[in-house]
Each structure stands twice: as structure tokens, then as C-alpha cells.
Amino acid sequence: MARTTIWHPFTQHGVEPLETEIMRAKGAWLETTDNQRILDAISSWWVVTHGHRHPVIVDAIKAQADRLDQVIFAGFTHPTADTLANKLVSIAPPGLAHVFYSDSGSTSVEVALKMALGYWRGIGEPRTRIAALEHGYHGDTIGTMSAGSRGLFNATYEPLLFDVVRIPFPETGREQATLDALETACREAPLAALIVEPLIAGAGGMKIYSAATLAEMKRICTHHGALLIADEVMTGWGRTGTLFACEQAGITPDILCVAKGITGGSLPLAATLASPAVYDAHFSEDRARTLFHSSSFTANAICCAAALANITIWEEEPVMDRIANVAAMQLSHVAALAEDPRFENPRCLGTIAAIDLRVPDGGYLASAGPALRAHFLSRGVLLRPLGNTIYVMPPYCASASDLALAYDAIRSIPPDLTSA
């Protein structure tokens, strides 16, 4: 522990050890300054899809840097952003037709919330109530914290947050309670939008729900005129087994948020895709109906080039085969762990696997959390449990031996960290 010049995210410097310095990376592996190799079993916070430094993406970044680095995106555009927008629309769930660029998952969701409120004001029927699922996490900016579950992550900032209608998470066997609560919320007063992480709540504990439930939530929203915002910042780009999680429910949200894997995890970029209705509600000769949002680096040319290269990889390489392979290996490993009495609640969705360690004090601040991180790192594996929830979310290039290393580290958890 030491005071440092850099203030790191989600880090309590008063108790955490000094950070591990990384010098280089390739594929599923990181390398430290003293030449130690570490398996990146969480894709560096869920962003790296094809592996670190994929040559197609690296080459695209270099080529774009030689042409154009950055230009203001208000009143100007550039070919890379234009091509990328058309590509995104072509691969997104059908019916989404407009792309607004930003620079992070949080900002893509902030934009989505602004779009939803702007839509209702634009059509002359102002609605302001936002609904969100319990256990949701949508980012760390003010709007996204407001939509996320209240608790540890945002308790300090409560005075800044606005109220949302909280819908119970659709736990297995209790899905109807969720649907009934959403129906009630829509009947009580007009709802502007429901925001969800499709199929899985990530930071909320890797909690999974069914595609049928997602489809029914969309049906209820449509019936009552409410918009559905799909936060696919984590779930997009193949994590759940399909390019976008919404595909498994056969739905098109009114607004779709993407980030993280949009550049293959190489550079920060995000996009918020909207239906024609949402766009048209802002399209006017009245300048007051403008979507008032921007960032200085909106549609940065180098980031857009990386995103285009990412889509090229999807088009030209067997990405879905790699995803299916990782998913199958995850299922096998988690099934084996499920027989160990130290663990409970095994679950998998696409390339994501999670299991809970039995501990006396569960939850995000479980005392076992920091010790687990240190244990895994000592075994050459980057895993960052959500308290006592251990999850594995590797890049799609991860091999059988890579995953075996990760699960060997999990099986070797010291007895003093578990209550089983």
C-alpha cells in the first residue's frame, strides 16, 4: 500500500497493493515489465474480443493515423465514420437506422437517456419516467448511476441522482413478478423508457435471465408506448453467443448502446443507435429540438478505423466458431466446478461463465475479494471477482490450455477463503 500519483479506478489505495505494471500484450496474454506473463481471463475489463493487438486492427490504426487523426464532428465528418455508421446499421438488429458516436459505455447510455426524453418532448407528449431493472449497472456518470442499482457504487453521490422506477430482476422462476411490475409501472403513469442489460446483469453479479423474458418486456413496452433501451455495452460483440444479445430474444430495441468491443478492445469508442422514430422526433427546423450532447473526440478517426477493422474481422474470420469453442469449454469447466462444495450457483451465457464462492460474507465487499485477486495473480491469471462471484470472460482467441490455467487457479483457492 502506498500513496500514488495516479488515482486508479475502483481502487482503495489505502488497502490495495501497488499496481502491476504491464509493458506489452498479445492474444490472451499480458506481459509485465519483469517479463512475467499473465493470462487476461477477463478481457481487460470485458473490452478485448479477438485478443490483444490483433494485426488487422493494429494495421488499421497505423494507416488511419497517417491520414487523419482527429477533426471536429459538428459540421464536419470523415469517410471512416461514415462507413462505420453504415456498417453498424447493417449488422445491428433490424430497424435501427441512425448512429450517434461517443467515447465510452457510460456516455453511450447517457446519450440514450437523452434521446428517450428528447423523443417524447419532440412529439409533443413529454414523458420523464425512466424504469430500470434491479441489479443493473449502466456506468458511472450521473444519468447512468441514476439508472443503475442504488448501493455501494453510488451511495456517496445520492444527492446528484434522479429517481427511476425500479423493476425487480427476473430471477429464474420469478420472471412473472418482473413482468407484472413492468406492466403496473406502465399503467400507473406514462413511462418514457425501460433500460436493461439484455440477458445478463454484469457488474450486478453476472445474473442471467431468459431471452423469452426480454422479449416479453419489449412487448409490454411497445404496448404502452414506452421505449426500450438495450445497454449492450458489455453484452455486444459476441459475449453472449450472438453478435448482440437482443438477437436471442428476436427483438429490436428502440435505442441500442454499444462500446467496449466495438474496437475489439483496442481504443475507446461508443455508439448509440436509434430507430427512425427517435431520430425524427429530433429532426426539425426548431433548433431547440437538437440532441444536445457531444464530446471533443466524437467519432475520432483513429478509433473509428479500429472499429471498422473489428467488423472486418467479424466478416472475414471464423469469429462465431471461436465463440462457440470458448462457450463449450466454459460450460465444461463450470460443470466440473459445480461438483465442488466450495462453490454454488454455476452459470454460463455464451463466452461468459460465473460461479459463487461460498463465504461467510457475500456481496461486492466480501472480504475474500481482494485475497482472491491476489491469489489468482500469483498463479499468473488476471481474474477480478465481483466480491465472492468469480467470473471468467476471456478473449475469443483463448485456447484450451489458457482456460485450463484459469480454472486450475480457481480450483486452487486456499481453504481459508471459503466457508464450505
| pLDDT tens, position by position, 352-373 | 999 999 998 888 888 889 999 9
Q: How far apart are CA 35 and CA 24, in angstroms?
A: 9
Radius of gyration in angstroms for the set of CA atoms belonging to the chain, rounded to a whole number: 21
Provide the mean pLDDT of the chain.
Answer: 96
Report the alpha-carbon distance of residue 240 to residue 242 in Å, rounded: 6
Contact between 341 and 402 under an 8 Å Cβ cutoff? The reply is: no
pLDDT digits (tens, 9 = 90+) for 182-219: 999 999 999 999 999 999 999 999 999 999 999 999 99
Q: With contact defined as beta carbons under 8 Å apart, do 308 and 84 qualify? A: yes
Write down the domain spans for the chain: 57-316, 318-417
Give the tens place of pLDDT for each residue, 374-405: 999 999 999 999 999 999 999 999 999 999 99
Do the domains spanning 57-316 and 318-417 agree at the CATH topology level?
A: no
| pLDDT tens for each residue of 34-75 | 999 999 999 999 999 999 999 999 999 999 999 999 999 999
Rounded Cα gap, residues 94 and 335, in angstroms: 36
Look at residue 4 and give its three-state secondary structure: coil
Q: How do residues 20-39 score in pLDDT, each as one tens digit?
A: 999 999 999 999 999 999 99
pLDDT, position 1: 65
Nearest-angstrom CA–CA distance, 225 and 273: 19
8-state DSSP, 149: P
Task: Decide if 211 contacts 199 (C-beta within 8 A).
Answer: yes
Nearest residue to 311 via CA among 79, 92, 69, 125:
92
Residue 138: name the closest of 119, 116, 118 by CA.
116
pLDDT in tens, 100-144: 999 999 999 999 999 999 999 999 998 999 999 999 999 999 999
Superfamily of domain 318-417 in CATH is: Aspartate Aminotransferase, domain 1 (3.90.1150.10)
State pLDDT tens for residues 309-345.
Answer: 999 999 999 999 999 999 999 999 999 999 999 999 9
Starting at the edge strand that comes first in sequence, how are the strands of the sheet with 352-357 ordered? 343-349, 352-357, 389-392
DSSP string, 347-372: EEETTEEEEEEP-SS-STT-THHHHH
User: Whole-angstrom Cα distance, residue 400 to residue 26?
Assistant: 17
Higher pLDDT, 278 or 154: 278
The type of residue at 257 is C
Q: How far apart are CA 206 and CA 351, in angstroms?
A: 12
Instruction: Judge whether 418 and 359 are in contact, CB under 8 Å.
Output: yes
Share of the chain above pLDDT 90, in %: 91
Domain 57-316 has CATH 3.10.180.10: no
**Is residue 13's pLDDT more than 70?**
yes
pLDDT at 420 over 70: no
Those residues with Cβ within 8 angstroms of residue 330's Cβ, 6 or more apart along the chain or in another chain: 348, 351, 352, 353, 392, 403
